[in-house]
Amino acid sequence: MLDAFTALTRGTRLVYSRGLRRYVFLPIVANLLVYAAMLWYVLGHFGGWLDGWMAMVPGWLDWLSWLIWPLFVLSLVLIVFFTFTLVTHLVAAPFYGFLAARVEVEATGRPPLDDRGLAKTAVDALGRELVKLGYILPRMALLLVISWIPVLNLVAPLLWAAFSAWIMAITYLDYPMDNNKVSFQDMRRRLKARWWPTLSYGGWVTLITWLPLANLFLLPGAVAAAVLMWERHYRGIETDKALGGPPQAR
């Protein structure tokens, strides 16, 4: 059984092997530029955002300021993290989709089912990212509201952590699935059908994204790991809408 950590280890070695290294350079450069620009902006505004949030705490909760303040800081850091992640993946999506296709050929000996050309693949990858954003943003907004509500925001960091694992799984496992003509809705069914590999993989990728600078070099490995996970855990799942039943393993 291929677990998420093993897939990430193998995937990272694979993308830096001879023949695949050249496909890693462009996404690293793109992410580095985006990170530098966003980090400069966040460092200049973080203090003001935190002061604004603390000003919303009602006076009768002043005695809980020692607890509310660090929770606000943690929630704000998580929100900034999600924003960073969404923007960088939007920029790098065409590169990651192409990298996933090359990894699939290298790892399995056969190309993905996708028969689109390079240019159309890049354009469609951006469209797929917009579909993901349409799924992610309303749920992210709900968590943002919870993070602003005193007392209720005590559970916000836990909700953000679980949400981040699910979203990281959707973000990366979608690359090989999109390359194999799996719709976004079908992809989510497959992930739910294998919920433990999905959340464990998403949790590890979340941890990787929190490693400053190192994540730029490790995230291409997460793309390769997604291909290995797709091959082992998700390819053989049938999600036939016409049958109207739950996903079945072949």
- Residue 118 has a pLDDT of 55
**Domain-embedded: residue 185:** yes
The 10s digit of each residue's pLDDT in 183-223 is 999 999 999 999 999 999 999 999 988 887 777 888 899 99
Q: Residue 79 corresponds to which tokens in the numbers above?
A: 């929100």
The separation between CA 152 and the C-alpha centre of its own chain, rounded to angstroms, equals: 26
pTM over 0.85: no
**Domain-embedded: residue 193:** yes
Rounded Cα–Cα distance for residues 148 and 71 (Å): 10
- Residue 63 has a pLDDT of 62
**Domain-embedded: residue 172:** yes
Candidates 137, 140, 39, 25; CA nearest to 92 is: 25
**Domain-embedded: residue 93:** yes
**Domain-embedded: residue 248:** no
- Residue 28 has a pLDDT of 81
- Residue 243 has a pLDDT of 36
Per the structure, how many domains does the chain have?
Answer: 1
- Residue 244 has a pLDDT of 43
Q: How many CB atoms lie within 10 A of CB 35?
A: 17
Rounded Cα–Cα distance for residues 34 and 36 (Å): 5
**Domain-embedded: residue 249:** no
**Domain-embedded: residue 166:** yes
**Domain-embedded: residue 57:** yes
- Domain holding 139, by residue range, is 4-237
Low pLDDT (below 50) residues in the chain: 240-246, 248-250
Q: Residue 20 corresponds to which tokens in the numbers above?
A: 């695949």
